[in-house]
Amino acid sequence: MDVRLAENDQSGTLYILSTPIGNLKDITLRALDILANVDVIAAEDTRTTGKLLGHYHINTTMMPYHDHNKERVTPQILAQLQEGESVAVVSDAGTPGIADPAFYLVREAVQNRIRIIPIPGAAALLPALVASGLPTDRFVFEGFLPARKGRKTRLGELEQQVRTIVLYESPHRLNRTINDLFEVLGDRPLVIARELTKKFEQFWYGSLEKAANSLDEIPLKGEFVLIVGGLTKKLKRSKKYS
């Protein structure tokens, strides 16, 4: 990618705007102000964003922008920005671009020298990490592991990872992912953060082995972040890693 030398002065602004991951109060005053004042909101799920807008009495026009239409609608959004309009891209939850399709639009906007302003706010990875009790000074965000192609390679890459590992997972793949992590990484500390900021928020503190053998205390419903301990010197010295 070329180095961006200067923004196009005539362009409008693309706001990458973070929204709550569950609790509607987890949104900044600045984000609400921008949502109320942009020309259009490009929303991953217009129903979810509609509820947020309704809660705050905001009636800005929305347009769908998601994984299945991103290639088709990005040129249209860029044209609007080039005409001087302002657009806020929001995802279903949290920070757009973190494990969701906003990356595609932002990359195109950078290449077209559109002015970009990120509006920070909620994302699922940080609250899970900071409550895990595992080292936070260095960590890697792995997002979702691939369901099929490339899964083994990605798991293999994690085996020697010394930093704390943060993963996203859906409820129907949680058991499989925990089993695969245990098989490849051996026993490690594991924290499962479920339904963050919501009514049934729950943290499970244990290990990959314990979770692989029985995960009865955690209902397999809702949304999950997994935090796995990195490879420590102690583990390295043990037989499995020698």
Binding segment for ligand SAM among 63-71, 86-94, 181-189, 229-237 (CB under 6 A)? 86-94
Phi and psi at residue 25, in whole multiples of 5°? -80, -10
> Tokens 């973190």 appear where?
98
Q: Which is nearer to ligand SAM, 62 or 227 (CB)?
A: 227
Interface with ligand SAM includes 238 (CB under 6 A)?
no
Q: Which is nearer to ligand SAM, 16 or 38 (CB)?
A: 16
Minimum CB–partner distance for residue 234 and ligand SAM (Å): 29
Minimum CB–partner distance for residue 44 and ligand SAM (Å): 8
Sites for ligand SAM among residues 93-112 (CB under 6 A): 93-95, 98-100
x/- letters, 122..161, toward ligand SAM (CB under 6 A) = -xxx------------------------------------
Interface with ligand SAM includes 182 (CB under 6 A)?
no
Binding segment for ligand SAM among 61-69, 76-84, 179-187, 221-229 (CB under 6 A)? 221-229
Binding segment for ligand SAM among 55-63, 70-78, 91-99, 130-138 (CB under 6 A)? 91-99
Question: What is the binding site for ligand SAM (CB under 6 A)?
Answer: 21-22, 91, 93-95, 98-100, 123-125, 168-170, 193, 195-198, 223-225
